[in-house]
Amino acid sequence: MTAEAKNQHEGLPGDFAIWIFILAEMLAFGVLFVAYAFARAHDVALFNASQETLNRTSGAINTLVLITSSYFVARGVDAIKRDLSRDCAWWLGATWLLGAVFIAIKSAEFHEKFSAGITLSTNSFYMFYLALTFFHFMHVLMGMIILAVVIVKARRGGYGSRDHAGVETAASFWHMVDLLWIILFPLIYVIR
Amino acid sequence: MNANFPTLIWLALVALTLTTYAIGASDMTGSGAMLTVLFIALVKGQMVANYFMGLRHVAPGWRLLILGWFLIVGGLIALAYKLT
Amino acid sequence: MQYKSQAVAKPYFIAAIGLFIGQIVFGLVMGLQYVVGDFLFPAIPFNIARMVHTNLLIVWLLFGFMGSAYYLIPEETENELYSPKLAIITFWIFLVAGALTVVGYLFVPYSTLAEWTGNNILATMGREFLEQPLITKVGIVIVALSFLFNICMTLLKGRKTSISLVLVLGLVGLAVFFLFSFYNPTNLVLDKYYWWWVVHLWVEGVWELILGAILAFVLIKVTGVDREVIEKWLYVIVTMTLITGILGTGHHYYWIGAPEYWQWWGSVFSALEPIPFFMMTIFAFNMVNRRRREHPNKAAVLWALGTGVLAFLGAGVWGFLHTLAPVNYYTHGTQMTASHGHLAFYGAYVCVVITMISYAMPILRGRAANSNKAQVVEMWSFWLMSVSIVFITLFLTAAGIVQVWLQRYSDAPMAFMAVQDKAAIFYWMREGAGVIFLIGLLTYVASFFIKGETKAAA
């Protein structure tokens, strides 16, 4: 991106298009979160009872995993701004591994629920729980794909202090995935 | 950026997450617990957006947008909770 | 024109406009039948007129898309079309098959047509929008395959741009989802369920990719804005389209017997479907404001901006009006749906095809743009058609509200035909607006024959 174009977008980290995308995604998730809250208001007892069957501990661990991964990404961006390509690739690689940990824990949760015979049609709570967390799950996978591409390029020294929009774009997407979970976790696992 | 600063933010995020978890694990329910948990989410969101994402170096409109999102979504969740 | 083989687009565009006229004539016929029930009966019953009206729309838009692709792909890939001859052969096959099908609809009873064309071998007929006889459907698949083969071979040996990749993705999707028209389960729920995979995933999915690619192409040409900027927008729009459009299919699953959760997912994601259209509007205006050159073809710019605005209004706003499940519970299948259908099809697909024709046709005829005089007439036609379709939409919306109020929401609901009588005034006004639309369309056709001073093509 040229300096002029960058200026136009008020110095947003990464590509301007990813920010439009992030806003649209946050809007979509926002609507879904609010839909959950109002659906819950219709049948509090059912939601509270079903919520009890969730594994709050694995939800909390996944929160720690995601915020730590966000921290790693931030360190990675910091590293590339100082031209430390190898450090950047290392931090992003660690992020990717944490993403994999998140996927593993979440998959175990899904597996447990599916083997208990729970589906989207079981009740409204499980419908929201499964759909919202699955939708988020897909975003983690998407983030890991983006990160993998950036890591490969960073290892080859493809970024530097003057040209790291690609790293920042991937980082911004990853932070968004974290931001969404920051609401998702208390909303679905904790508030009752 | 001071290398220690993001680390401090990270530690704060961990502490806040554990607080939320503790509230969930205890039998604290009701509006107080709900509002606390939502407020913690708001603070965490601001930390990630401003310090990790780097929005504090960006035109204020973008920070306000993220803050506004947390306020609106959180506010509506709280409203729905109060409806019951 | 830069590449000789782009010329194959010309017959496609001409056929598209010809069929467009046919579509509007049948629209007027059935519009009148709304209020004068036995008009042209028994020669052209209402259901036949409706079938011809909707089928012609789809067929001429397909001609438009194919012509656009044949014009766009050589220029984007920077080489000649793989086989111009194949493109011309498919053109004639498609045109003759389409004409024969319409003749069949008009002059043979539908059940006899079904018997003649092998519906007993594989029953696919009799479903709204997919009424085509089996042999026509097979013909469409063959045409689509040879078209895709031609386009893909051209793409493979040339430059690969985001615009051409998005276009091809849309066209491949179009062909793939059409295959579901051959799947006709006896279970009515399943039948409807997969029927929407053709109908919805076409117009609210892959067609939007085609729309985005064509619009982006024309905007690059007429504004001179950097390809990089335009392609970035295209990517974001395409992603949003796919996310909202695919899950938005759920807004057709509310009342057909599909699982209940579709009421949530359909409502939420289809409510977000206006976003990509809104981005498209912002995109079009943004690019035109940042233009680096004054393209002599003002009419094409007008059509491009019109696409942005009217697609957002028709597909976005009018879709949103009745997409939420609690609202749709009352509006389902009323004239609300018809009002949305009219403005959405016009704003999104009619406008984008005409944008392309408006941009490409003068170049195909050896000049950068038409004479000022011809352009003024063309812009008149834009305003005549656009304003009258907006009025058609408003009148149908009014009829829809009457319907919902008297027939659905009321404590003492009235019978369907009694309500239709109450809405007659709006149907008459709609018919009037339709006549003006036809005048606009004829004005558009006339603009092709207006001479005047022109500059040679660059």
Contact A20 C260 (CB under 8 A): no
Contact A24 C233 (CB under 8 A): no
d(CA C4, CA A19): 41
Q: Would you state the pLDDT for residue C182?
A: 96
Q: Does A192 touch chain B (CB under 8 A)?
A: yes
Please name the chains neighbouring B, where neighbouring means 3+ C-beta pairs under 8 angstroms: A
Q: Residue B11: which domain range?
A: 4-83
φ, ψ at A13 (rounded to 5°)? -70, 125
Residue of B nearest to A20 (CA): B62
d(CA A92, CA A158): 14
Q: Would you state the pLDDT for residue B27?
A: 78
User: Count of CB atoms within 10 A of residue C32's CB?
Assistant: 18
Residues in C touching A127 (Cβ below 8 Å): 261, 264
Amino acid letter at C343? L
C100, C24 Cβ separation under 8 angstroms:
no
Substitution target in B23, B26, B77, B82 with the highest count of A β-carbons within 10 Å is B77
Please name the chains neighbouring A, where neighbouring means 3+ C-beta pairs under 8 angstroms: B, C
A144, A93 Cβ separation under 8 angstroms:
no
Structure tokens at C65: 């898309």
Contact A33 B77 (CB under 8 A): yes
Report residue A1's pLDDT band, with 50, 70 and 90 as the boundaries.
Answer: very low
Contact C268 A32 (CB under 8 A): yes
pLDDT digits (tens, 9 = 90+) for A149-183: 999 999 998 999 989 999 999 999 999 999 999 99
Substitution target in A42, A87, A179 with the highest count of B β-carbons within 10 Å is A179
In a domain, C352, yes or no: yes
Residue of B nearest to A29 (CA): B73
Q: Would you state the pLDDT for residue A4?
A: 42
Domain count, chain B: 1
Assign C456 to helix, strand or coil. Answer: strand
Contact A21 C240 (CB under 8 A): yes
Amino acid letter at A102? F
Helices and strands in chain B: count of H runs, count of E runs: 3, 0
Q: Residue C272: which domain range?
A: 232-450
- Mean pLDDT, each 10-residue run in order, chain C (458 residues): 93 98 97 95 94 97 98 96 96 95 95 94 94 95 96 95 96 96 95 96 96 96 91 88 93 95 93 92 91 94 96 96 96 97 98 98 93 96 98 98 96 95 97 98 96 70
Window 32-71 of B: residues touching A by CB (8 A cutoff) are 33-34, 37-38, 40-41, 44-45, 48-49, 51-55, 57-59, 61-62, 65-66, 69-70
What ipTM describes this predicted complex? 0.93
Q: Would the pLDDT of B48 be above 90? A: yes
**Among B6, B14, B45, whose Cβ lies nearest the Cβ of A179?**
B45
- Spell out the SS3 assignment of C348-392: HHHHHHHHHHHHHHHHHCCECCCCHHHHHHHHHHHHHHHHHHHHH
Q: Does B23 touch chain A (CB under 8 A)?
A: yes
Q: Would you state the pLDDT for residue A6?
A: 44
Whichever domain contains C271, its CATH number is 1.20.210.10
Alpha carbon of A185: minimum distance to chain B alpha carbons (Å): 9
Domain count, chain C: 1
Q: Would the pLDDT of A7 be above 50? A: no
Who contacts C150 (Cβ-Cβ below 8 Å, separation ≥6)? C81, C82, C83, C86, C87, C90
Q: How many CB pairs under 8 A join A and C?
A: 40
**Among A17, A28, A121, whose Cβ lies nearest the Cβ of C232?**
A17
Q: Among candidates A146, A135, A134, which has minimal Cα distance to A174?
A: A146
Burial-class residue C187 by CB neighbours within 10 Å (0-12, 13-18, 19+).
Answer: exposed
Contact A15 C235 (CB under 8 A): no
Structure tokens at C8: 């194959």
Give me Rg for the CA atoms of chain B: 15
Q: Where are the alpha helices (DSSP H) in chain A?
A: 3-8, 16-42, 44-51, 56-81, 85-115, 124-155, 165-184
Report residue B78's pLDDT band, with 50, 70 and 90 as the boundaries.
Answer: very high
Q: How many CB pairs under 8 A join A and B?
A: 126
Q: Would the pLDDT of A111 be above 80? A: yes
Contact B45 A182 (CB under 8 A): yes
- Spell out the SS3 assignment of A90-136: HHHHHHHHHHHHHHHHHHHHHHHHHHCCCCCCCCHHHHHHHHHHHHH
User: Count of CB atoms within 10 A of residue B55's CB?
Assistant: 24
User: Count of CB atoms within 10 A of residue C100's CB?
Assistant: 14
A21, C236 Cβ separation under 8 angstroms:
yes
Report residue B2's pLDDT band, with 50, 70 and 90 as the boundaries.
Answer: low
Contact C265 A39 (CB under 8 A): no
Q: Does B5 touch chain A (CB under 8 A)?
A: no
Residues in B touching A46 (Cβ below 8 Å): none
Residues in A touching C268 (Cβ below 8 Å): 28, 31-32, 35
Contact B10 A23 (CB under 8 A): no
In a domain, C183, yes or no: no
Alpha carbon distances (Å) from C123 to C50, C112, C186: 21, 14, 10
Q: Would you state the pLDDT for residue C453?
A: 76
Q: Would you state the pLDDT for residue C39?
A: 96
Q: Would you state the pLDDT for residue C238?
A: 92
Chains B and A are in contact, defined as 3 or more C-beta pairs closer than 8 angstroms: yes
Instruction: Write the CATH number of the domain with boundaries A55-190.
Output: 1.20.120.80
Q: Does B22 touch chain A (CB under 8 A)?
A: no
